[in-house]
Structure 1
Amino acid sequence: MGRYVVTGSASGMGAAVAEALRTAGHTVIGIDRDTADVTADLSTEEGRRAAIDAILEKSGGELAGAVFAAGLGPARDRERVIVEVNMAGVTDLLEALRPALAASEKAKVVVFGSNSTTATPFVPARAVRALLRGDRERATAILRRRGPMLSGPAAYAASKIAVTRWCRVHGTAPEWAGEGIRINVIAPGPVMTPLLKSQLDGPSAKNVRSFPVPVREYGTPDQLAQWVMLMLSPAADFMCGTVVTVDGGTEALLRGRDWPRAVPLHTVPRVLWQMYRAPKKGQVAQY
């Protein structure tokens, strides 16, 4: 049995994951703003530092894995807080906890992304690039130019795009994958959490209900927790940088012909090109 960090452990999908881990006999270090093993505000640098210090103390410097379920949904005039929690609340903690994860054999990390990364229009690419550079002030300024109606959804989608790309790029690097740490992303669609319930009861209920979900039902926190448990298990030893979409078919409905797509030749790394080069006489092709 191992020690796992779960952010957003007080409610919704984070609470379901924490419960599933504890039921399986693992030790959980839950992080949330209240009602958690570690209370911390991940929207501030001080709060993230406090969370990191508490995790390292409680874990003894070794973690079997981590699940980053804390996040803020789209909300008007909260663009900066959204990107702080959804981006820095993952990347700052992961970078600080990397030695503790590397100390455990085949540590698993699951980051909650969102199918909004592929279902939200008008997301400024410049904001995503700014987030990946760590310039959240610049990203917020760009997002606010979308206006009061679009800036909240754009901030949410941009933060999830950025954190997903961060996980795919960094997660396959030698200091992560090479140290035995598997980072993967789960991208849920609408899940019946307190956040979704508040949206269904609020002024935007009509828009929320019109969002296309081919299976015609919402997901549940327990369903997502079962997926996360699989991604934390030995079955995920060969998963790295993968995005698992669990959204009732929305992503496939909107982008059914966009993926999979062959990688453009000009983007193929040299080492990969050499692997697939035509063999010389007397050699066997490398595949």
Structure 2
Amino acid sequence: MGTYAVTGAASGMGAAVVDRLVGDGHTVIGVDIKEADVVADLSTPEGRRTAATAVLDRAGGVLDGAVLAAGLGPAPGRDRARLIAEVNYLGVVELLEAWRPALAAAERAKVVVFSSNSTTTMPMVPRRAVRALLDRDVPKALGSLRMFGKMAPSFAYGASKIAVSQWVRRQAVTREWAGAGIRLNAIAPGAILTPLLEQQLATPAEAKRINAFPVPIGGFGDPGQLAAWVVFMLSDAADFLCGSVVFVDGGSDAWFRADDWPRAVPAVRLRRYLARMRSFRAY
């Protein structure tokens, strides 16, 4: 049995993951802003440091895996866009960087980061906001979103999920992660019937917008189903899974971009592609 850290452990999909892991006999160190083993506010640098250190102390310096499920969605509020950027991006990458030595110590550790199908179904997300988050410049990212006014939190959400997915893809294949035996992947849910979604569906205007969104199989996903996917991605069966973003969204991503992916490497990138091939050595 292993030891796993789970952020966003107190509710929604994070709680469903905790239930599955505990039910399978694993030790889980839950992180959340309340009602968790480690109580920390991931929207602040101090909170992220507290979460990182407390988990390492409880794990004894060895983690068999981690699930980064903590996240904020769009909602009214002057500071909401900043909170989304801090929690959804920095609340993932800063914790994982702090935990990486403990994950490497387990030799075959698995990490699952919660992304979203908004990464490919949400239009007009500014690339400069994504680039700024990847550079960890939250003020610059927020500056690029001011033009959207009250819609800024929605675009902050999209930018945060694109940025964290790109971070996963970039880091997963490096010597520090793949080379250390850590399998780093992301899961991209669609509309999952969590308490947050139920609250949104209780508002007629929100319900109309949500129900109009294309989900080819119809309906909403179940948190338990997502948890089963996460547990698989943490298992030995996922040893060959590296740098993947797995969409579990009822077909929405495929509906929007059926012909966009997979796509061959463009000819204009051939020189860089060949250079990387020549420089590669198995870790």
Task: Give 5+ residue unaligned stretches, structure 2.
Answer: none
2:12 corresponding residue in structure 1: 12
1:70 aligns to what? 70
Q: What whole-Å deviation, never above 9, does each CA across 1:70-117 have from its counterpart, x for those lacking one?
A: 000112331000010000000000001110000002100000000000
CA RMSD of aligned residues (A): 1.2
Partner of 1:255: 257
* Equivalent residue number for residue 30 of structure 1: 30
- The match for 1:147 is 149
Give the aligned partner of residue 172 of structure 1.
173
For the Cα contact (< 8 Å) 1:106–1:181, is it kept in 2? yes
The corresponding residue for 1:280 is none
Contact 1:33/1:41 (<8 A) preserved? yes
Distance 1:100 1:216 in 2: 41
Q: Which runs of 5+ in 1 are unaligned?
A: 276-287
Give me the whole-angstrom Cα distance separating, in 2, the residues matched to 1:19 and 1:129: 36
Give the Cα separation in 1 of the matches to 2:210 and 2:75: 13
Q: How far apart are the structure 1 equivalents of 2:278 and 2:31?
A: 46
TM alignment of 1:81-230, pairs within 5 A: 81-148=83-150, 150-202=151-203, 203-230=205-232
1:141 Cα deviation from its structure 2 partner: 1.5
* Percent of aligned pairs sharing the same letter: 58
Q: CA deviation at 1:271?
A: 4.1
Query: How far does residue 6 in structure 1 lie from its aligned partner after superposition?
Result: 0.3
Q: C-alpha deviations, 1:8-63, integer Å up to 9, x for none? A: 00011000001100111100000001111111110110101111111011000000
Deviates more, 1:256-265 or 1:226-235: 256-265
**Preserved CA contact (<8 Å) 1:33 1:39:** yes
Q: Superposition pairs for residues 241-280 of structure 1, below 5 Å?
A: 241-268=243-270, 269-271=273-275
For 2:252 and 2:146, the matched residues in 1 are separated by 27
Distance across 2 between alignment mates of 1:142 and 1:67: 30
For residues 95 and 262 of structure 2, the distance between their equivalents in structure 1, rounded to whole angstroms, comes to: 32
Per residue, is there more helix in 1 or in 2?
A: 2
Q: Give the superposition deviation at 1:273.
A: 5.3
Q: Deviations for 1:157-195, whole angstroms, at most 9, x for unmatched residues?
A: 100000000000011111111000110000000000011
Structure-2 change in CA distance of 1:273 and 1:91 (3 Å): closer
Provide TM-score, normalisation by structure 1.
Answer: 0.93
**Do the aligned partners of 1:120 and 1:153 also contact (CA within 8 Å) in 2?**
no
One-letter amino acid of the counterpart of residue 198, structure 2: K
In the alignment, what sits opposite 1:281? Answer: none
Instruction: Evaluate the alpha carbon distance shift between residue 99 and residue 231 of structure 1 in structure 2; reply closer, same or farther with a 3 A threshold.
Output: same
Question: Aligned partners of 2:126 and 2:75: how far apart in 1?
Answer: 17
Aligned residue for 1:282?
Answer: none
Instruction: Read off the aligned partner of 1:11 and give its amino acid letter.
Output: S
Contact 1:79 1:144 (C-alpha < 8 Å) held by counterparts: no
- Structure 2 CA distance, aligned partners of 1:199 and 1:259? 31
Distance 1:81 1:89 in 2: 10
Aligned residues: 274
AA in 2 matched with 1:122: M
